[in-house]
């Protein structure tokens, strides 16, 4: 059977494992500055494929610890400044390994909560950066994994996200900005985590998200943009949180994701014929899980982590 119809699990596990084995290569993963996120993407893909053991747990935890800074945040790599993007990745890895107790949780909580602007409710990515609903998601997701949503002003955070809602039902990075499926995942995810989904116009947004499916089965992130496997996650998880995943054709999307697999090296690319990478691999695998592939572990659409992990943390929906 061709890759068009078969999920090449063994090859994908090998692809990810090889990335880890070839640490010294120049183009290791997706670049040093976001290595910690790369580890989270790889680990999540492996776990969903029932292959968590392909990585050495203690080695990974040692690397994660080396990215933790004195301010309580994580950098993208050892010695890099803290940022919310990587702090979420660090916490996600620790949660997956059930190792949150090995770190000073309160310190991490302090780093995250200090990044909230107490006037607008928005979050900065780091202490001198700009605000963006992506960072609202990172902060709220991270704090809920740590069981400490009480450390920030949640109603104000929710209010900022609500102000980013657009005339088409979607969300952007700041109030007035164009709707974008990646930002929509962040906003719907944050609203779901904070039990505020009643603020979403689920029918209007659900329809806008369903319109992202193109004739080839793939999904794009904005009108008139190209399809890309990563939107299998951003769009599909949003539809799942809104309980409207059936509004698109699951079969067409599954075929599109499978067509982006690399039959030789393993891994999944943005679309058929391009080079695979770990980013598109995890979002392709997570998308297939949401589509109901029973050979994979179930993924939690709010966190992009396996459901058994979020259940273990008492975050069951």
Partner 1 sequence: MRSARQYRQEILAALQKDLKEELDFIDDMASEHPKSYQIWHHRQIIIERLNDPSKEISFIDKMLALDSKNYHAWSYRQWVVSTYNLWDDEIPDIDRLIVEDIRNNSAWNQRFFVMSRRPQGFGEDDIVKEVSYILQKIRLAPNNESPWNYLRGILEFAGKPFDEFPQIEDVCRSFEAKAMIVPHALNFLLELNAQQVQAGQGERVAECEKISKQLEEHDPVRKLYWRHRLEQVKAFRN
Helix (H) or strand (E) segment spanning residue 234: helix 230-241
Compute the least distance from the CB of residue 71 to partner 1, in Å. Answer: 13
Q: Give the contacts of 58 (CB within 8 A, at least 6 positions apart).
A: none
Nearer to partner 1, 159 or 177 (CB): 177
- Report yes or no: 134 and 183 within 8 Å, Cβ to Cβ: yes
Task: State phi, psi for 97 to the nearest 5 degrees.
Answer: -85, 5
Nearer to partner 1, 63 or 207 (CB): 207
C-alpha–C-alpha distance, residues 286 and 296, integer Å? 9
Compute the least distance from the CB of residue 179 to partner 1, in Å. Answer: 7
* Token representation of residue 231: 């939107």
* Token representation of residue 3: 């890759």
Three-state DSSP at 219 gives strand
Compute the least distance from the CB of residue 55 to partner 1, in Å. Answer: 27
Compute the least distance from the CB of residue 271 to partner 1, in Å. Answer: 18
Nearer to partner 1, 210 or 313 (CB): 210
Nearer to partner 1, 206 or 267 (CB): 206
Compute the least distance from the CB of residue 203 to partner 1, in Å. Answer: 8
Q: Tokens 């659409």, residue?
A: 301
Site residues (CB under 8 A) for partner 1? 33, 80-81, 83, 126, 128-130, 132, 166-168, 172-174, 176-180, 203, 206-208, 210-211, 213, 222-225, 244, 246-249, 252
Compute the least distance from the CB of residue 306 to partner 1, in Å. Answer: 27
Nearer to partner 1, 130 or 150 (CB): 130
Three-state DSSP at 50 gives coil
Nearer to partner 1, 37 or 173 (CB): 173
Nearer to partner 1, 128 or 316 (CB): 128
Compute the least distance from the CB of residue 136 to partner 1, in Å. Answer: 15
- Report yes or no: 112 and 62 within 8 Å, Cβ to Cβ: no
Q: Give the contacts of 245 (CB within 8 A, at least 6 positions apart).
A: 236, 239, 290, 291
C-alpha–C-alpha distance, residues 203 and 193, integer Å? 20
Compute the least distance from the CB of residue 283 to partner 1, in Å. Answer: 19
- Report yes or no: 175 and 163 within 8 Å, Cβ to Cβ: yes
C-alpha–C-alpha distance, residues 70 and 82, integer Å? 9
Nearer to partner 1, 7 or 86 (CB): 86
* Token representation of residue 13: 């596990």
Compute the least distance from the CB of residue 310 to partner 1, in Å. Answer: 27
Q: Give the contacts of 305 (CB within 8 A, at least 6 positions apart).
A: 44, 92, 95, 96, 299
Nearer to partner 1, 134 or 297 (CB): 134
Q: Tokens 């909580």, residue?
A: 109
C-alpha angle with apex 306: 303 to 310, nearest 5 degrees? 65
* Token representation of residue 189: 């995810």
Polymer length of the chain: 317
């Amino acid at each position: 059977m061709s890759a068009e119809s078969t999920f090449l699990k063994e090859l994908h596990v090998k692809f990810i494992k090889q990335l880890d084995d070839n640490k010294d290569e120049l183009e290791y993963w997706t670049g040093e500055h976001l290595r910690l996120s790369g580890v989270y993407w790889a680990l999540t893909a492996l776990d969903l494929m029932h292959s968590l053991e392909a990585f050495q747990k203690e080695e990974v935890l040692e690397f994660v610890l080396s990215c933790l800074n004195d301010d309580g945040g994580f950098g993208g790599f050892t010695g890099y400044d803290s940022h919310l993007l990587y702090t979420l990745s660090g916490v996600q890895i620790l949660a997956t390994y059930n190792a949150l107790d090995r770190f000073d949780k309160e310190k991490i909580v302090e780093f995250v909560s200090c990044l909230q602007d107490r006037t607008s409710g928005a979050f900065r990515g780091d202490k001198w950066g700009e605000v963006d609903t992506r960072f609202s998601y990172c902060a709220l997701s991270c704090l809920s994994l740590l069981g400490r949503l009480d450390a920030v002003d949640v109603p104000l955070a929710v209010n900022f996200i609500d102000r980013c809602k657009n005339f088409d039902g979607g969300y952007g990075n700041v109030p007035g900005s164009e709707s974008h499926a990646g930002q929509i995942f962040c906003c719907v995810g944050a609203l779901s985590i904070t039990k505020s989904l009643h603020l979403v116009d689920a029918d209007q947004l659900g329809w806008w998200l369903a319109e992202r499916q193109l004739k080839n089965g793939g999904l794009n992130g904005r009108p008139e943009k190209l399809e890309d496997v990563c939107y299998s996650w951003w769009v599909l998880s949003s539809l799942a949180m809104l309980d409207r995943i059936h509004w698109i054709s699951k079969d067409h999307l599954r075929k599109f994701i499978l067509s982006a697999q690399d039959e030789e090296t393993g891994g999944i690319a943005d679309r058929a014929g391009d080079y695979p990478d770990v980013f598109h691999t995890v979002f392709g695998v997570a998308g297939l899980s949401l589509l109901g592939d029973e050979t994979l572990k179930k993924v939690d659409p709010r966190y992009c982590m396996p459901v058994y992990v979020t259940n273990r943390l008492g975050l069951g929906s």
